[in-house]
Amino acid sequence: MNDGVPTMKSALILGLAGVLPLYALFAAQSSRPMVNVSYDKFEDLTEVSTNSSKVKNAIGREQKRQNLRLQVVYVCTGDTSHCRPDEVQLKFASYSVADHARSHHLILVADGKRIRAQSKWTGEYGGTRMPLEHITASIKVEDFLNLAGAVEIEGKLGETTFTLSDDNLGAIRALAGEMAPGKQTKELGYFRERQVDASDKNQDWRNRKCEMG
């Protein structure tokens, strides 16, 4: 009856050992393609961005599925990626024709906490390339770090609803790990006191995010 107990304990120890290095993993993401750093020596500005990745379950008008992708960007003054920006841009792209022309607002719900932002739309039509729509929204860095600490994020962009994928969340956390530490805010400290039924990976990131804040 008890023969399986040591095995279970060993598996648990190995699982925990895999979680502990996550702090170093996210902090080192800048050396991986997930985060891109580009310095403009003429403007003395550094753009830090994620690769574009597809969101999950993007449903638009008339319950039409969409190929909606997300890229996250912030800018630093000087030749450094380790700054504390005032805001972070969420850049959505969709291969569609005018599906998002009326997408003037973005709403995100991160573990029950609502974040609202205005969005701007532009479209690329004509030529031999596929039609492409761009929708950009800017959020405060505190709200962005709350996204990085969330287990689940649902969104509504205009008339389109979606959920952020694991690739989206991983990129957001990697980008947050690139930022310079700042003064801890009430919103970030909130995560330290919460008890959330989540995976070890997400719990570890939430604790790391509080230390960053």
In a domain, 145, yes or no: yes
Per-residue pLDDT reduced to its tens digit, 123-168: 988 766 788 999 999 999 999 999 999 999 999 999 999 999 999 9
In a domain, 4, yes or no: no
Q: Domain containing 87: what range?
A: 26-182
- Backbone φ, ψ for residue 84 (5° rounding): -115, 90
Please, are residues 68 and 53 in contact by the beta-carbon 8 Å criterion?
no
In a domain, 97, yes or no: yes
In a domain, 211, yes or no: no
User: The CATH number of the domain where 131 resides is what?
Assistant: 2.60.40
Per-residue pLDDT reduced to its tens digit, 1-57: 455 444 444 443 343 344 334 333 444 443 445 899 999 999 999 999 999 999 999
Alpha carbons within 13 A on the beta-carbon side of 14:
6
In a domain, 202, yes or no: no
Q: What is the mean pLDDT of the chain?
A: 79
* pLDDT for position 34: 84
Per-residue pLDDT reduced to its tens digit, 185-208: 334 433 333 333 334 545 555 565
Domains in the chain, number = 1
pTM: 0.71
In a domain, 5, yes or no: no
E strands, the chain, in order: 35-40, 45-50, 53-54, 56-59, 68-77, 87-94, 105-110, 113-124, 132-140, 153-157, 160-163
Amino acid sitting at position 45: L
In a domain, 167, yes or no: yes
Task: Please state, in angstroms and rounded to a whole number, the distance separating the CA atoms of residues 146 and 167.
Answer: 17
* pLDDT for position 13: 37
If we measure between CA atoms, which residue out of 199, 193, 188, 177 comes closest to residue 48?
Answer: 177
In a domain, 129, yes or no: yes
